[in-house]
A and B are shown apart, each in its own frame.
Chain A
Amino acid sequence: MSREAIGGSVWTRRGLAAMGVFGLVFLTVPLVIVIPMSFSSARALTFPPPSLSLRWYETFFGDPRWMEAMWTSTFVAAISSLAALVLGGLAAYGLRRGTFKGRDWAEGNFMAPLIVPTIIVAIALYLALAKVGLLGSLLGLVVAHTLLNVPLVMMVLGVAIREFDQRIEQVAWSLGASWSYAMRKVVLPNLAPSVFAAWIFAFIGSFDEVIVTSFIAGKYETVPKKMFNELVLEVNPTITAVATLLIAFTVLALAAVAFVLGRAGKLKETVV
């Protein structure tokens, strides 16, 4: 009904549809174009590719520096996403269920890395890590990635915990379950789909992080850092293959999240 109420004439509606489609095209076309370009045989980025080949993928997988960057990225993302999941998950639970004073303040502080420009976090960490001699250390990198991804975890799990009926936990306690038993057997199984989503988001967040990493990683190369450094210098078609792999990785990860949340009937709340 509303479509008719404010849609106006056929032309207005067609105009709106054209603008909407334009918006979606503007968002997605660059990503769609990158994929065929990564199979180009040419060095120049000419569209359409003159002929197809896998040479840029061979260059990528055959380069030990890219492989090492891939390993570092995976390692840092694995550790920091788990740390963010555990610390952020516990904190989200404490903030939703707790009654202590200063909860708003604490939550604001935990969410701050999302609002404070990343370049400022990068500079502050650079200066502080240089001061304590941890600049260019894996520890510094993992800790930085952890705190950058805590807000994502807290957003996803905060909603899930708020929607999980607290009385179910209280029943478990009243039946004599210890706190940790109730957590393992009642709370976590119910939150499992959201926990999975939060973990994937934190993993992607860490795997793609470029600004803080470029400032504090020192001699360590991650995939985004290496990609960024190469892009600033010159456009190398190997990047097109890396970009395609990253798009494929993101699509698969999000599809897994959508599948798990969809099966639990929680897709809507988490997305919008």
Chain B
Amino acid sequence: MTRSSGFSFIAPLLVLMVVAFNAPIVYMLGLAFWEKGRGFTLEHYEGLAEAPVYLRVLGNTMRIALIATLANIVIGYPLAHWMRGLGSRGRMIAIALVVLPFWVSILVRTYAWIVVLGNGGIVNRALQWSGLTDAPVSFLYNELGVTIGMANVLLPFLVLPLFAAMIRIDDRLLQAAASLGAPPRTIFWKVYFPLTLPALAAGALLVFILCLGFYVTPAILGGGRVPMISNLLDTLINQIPRWEQASAISTILLIVTLLIFAAYRRLDRKASA
């Protein structure tokens, strides 16, 4: 009966997923490898390798994703580490300040950077007032703006799991090291940091995956001048309809994402073990 196996509980969702998620993705994969009347083909992929524009966009995407991920580590690790040391009240406030932006629309968070980084925005006002620059610095509609925006949007994805891993570290372990005469620097690098490394690596991989498929932030903060894979896909679907080519690129992106995700899962299991 239902009680013993429980399969009937998942059946409705399974049907919906197969029809509206799995089938469309399989259909897309089919388009990438199929040519009308000729059957299986790799032609759409050959087209990709020949056009330099695709390689340039791919290079762009990888570079921005890498820099945004590194920025996330540099900002996120000290933040999570600092939160661990706070009292319970301070911790709750800090968690709320990390969780809230996570739930605010990505459009709002991206748009907010236009307000902050624009020529009349608070950052340029502060720079000019302090005399560091005479003319406004252009942060927007270039790679710098896109990278700042993406690092900002993705930071909670790194900080929350990292913080969760850090509070699981037993204080007595650190005290034991201290009582054996290890100076704070040694305790941090030899005991604490290695314990947080799996969670850090898992979080960084997750951020990197999300960067690869980013669409909204480069479209808005890049002003069309910083195309990433997703924006190229948008062009191939909505502007110059080349569905097969779009499917071929999507397939590559999907495979790369799933491979990195598999690595993430291994690290994540290690981190929470």
Residues of A within 8 A of B (CB): 1-9, 12, 16-17, 19-24, 26-31, 33-34, 37, 44-47, 87-88, 90-91, 93-95, 97-100, 106, 109-110, 112-113, 115-121, 123-129, 131, 143-144, 146-147, 150, 173, 179, 201, 204, 207-208, 210-211, 215, 224, 227-228, 231-232, 235, 239-240, 243, 246-247, 250-251, 253-254, 258, 271-272
Contact = CB atoms under 8 A, between A and B. Distances in A.
8 contacts: A5-B171, A7-B184, A27-B97, A47-B115, A98-B9, A210-B216, A215-B237, A231-B220
Contacts of A215: 237-238
A119 B233 contact: yes
B198 interface: no
Given A8-B188, A30-B112, 12 more contacts: A24-B97, A33-B122, A95-B9, A125-B20, A126-B237, A128-B28, A131-B27, A232-B220, A232-B224, A243-B111, A246-B108, A272-B164
B8 A94 contact: yes
A21 B81 CA distance: 12
For the side of the interface on B, what is the size category? 35 or more
B28 A95 contact: no
Nearest to B91: A272
Contacts of B13: 87-88, 90-91, 110, 150
Given A98-B9, A232-B219, A5 B177 contact: yes
Contact of B111 (A147, A208, A231): A231
8 A-B pairs with the lowest CB-CB distances in the bound complex, closest first: A98-B6, A117-B213, A94-B9, A20-B82, A23-B79, A30-B112, A128-B24, A19-B78
A250 B187 contact: no
A253 B102 CA distance: 13
B227 interface: no
A91 B9 contact: yes
Nearest to A127: B28
Contacts of A4: 178
Contacts of B212: 117
A20 B243 contact: no
B122 A109 contact: no
A254 B115 contact: no
Contact of A23 (B24, B75, B184, B216): B75
B100 A20 contact: no
A223 B10 CA distance: 32
B35 to A, nearest CB: 16
A119 B237 CA distance: 11
Given A106-B14, A117-B253, A34 B111 contact: yes
A95 B253 CA distance: 30
Contact of A117 (B31, B75, B234, B254): B254
A81 to B, nearest CB: 14
A126 B9 CA distance: 29
B14 to A, nearest CB: 6
Contacts of B101: 27-28, 31
